[in-house]
Amino acid sequence: MKIRRGLAGAGVLLGLWGVWKLATTVDVHGLVRLPLWLGGAVLADDFFLVPLTVTAGWLVTRWASRPDGHRTVGTIRTTLLYVGITSLIAAPLLLRQGKGPNPTVLPRDYLRDWLLLEATIVAAGIVGYFIASRSAGNALRPATSAVVGRAWRGLRRVRRAPRCE
């Protein structure tokens, strides 16, 4: 308990130091607008990026209920995730290219490079998909569409069942 209190106390002090630095180095105009940007960052994460990932994951998992889908779902999910995260990082580069005054900032052809990167990730994903499919064909595990379908239906029944709370 002492450790937890010590950590929490140190954290509060460091945080207050940061607030003090903000209050003494940023003018009122900036300070008033900063909470809007902080709120915007939370909205972008919690109400756009993460829901997008959750929804994509849910759709991919639904897709995995087809015969032998569960064997290749990992490859598809990883490929989508890598395409998504690299595109997220690339977005500011693509938006800003050619707009700044300094030609040594953003000197590449970022559209071409981004397309090449995504094509490479997708190509690696396709190779991974076929390797996973082939190894699935050779495997002796008895997971079939019937088994997977039963498990899905079972889970949905469990979650629909009234809870005794």
137 binding other proteins? (CB under 8 A): no
**Residue 21 or 134 having the CB closest to other proteins:** 21
125 binding other proteins? (CB under 8 A): no
Q: How far is the CB of 126 from other proteins (least distance, A)?
A: 17
Q: How far is the CB of 29 from other proteins (least distance, A)?
A: 6
Residues 85-124, interacting with other proteins (CB under 8 A): 85-86, 88-90, 92-93, 96, 100-102, 104-108, 110, 113-114, 116-117, 121
R_g of the chain computed on alpha carbons: 24
77 binding other proteins? (CB under 8 A): yes
74 binding other proteins? (CB under 8 A): yes
59 binding other proteins? (CB under 8 A): no
**What is the 3-class SS of 72-115, one letter each residue?**
HHHHHHHHHHHHHHHHHHHHHHHHHCCCCCCCCCCCCCHHHHHH
d(CA 117, CA 94): 13
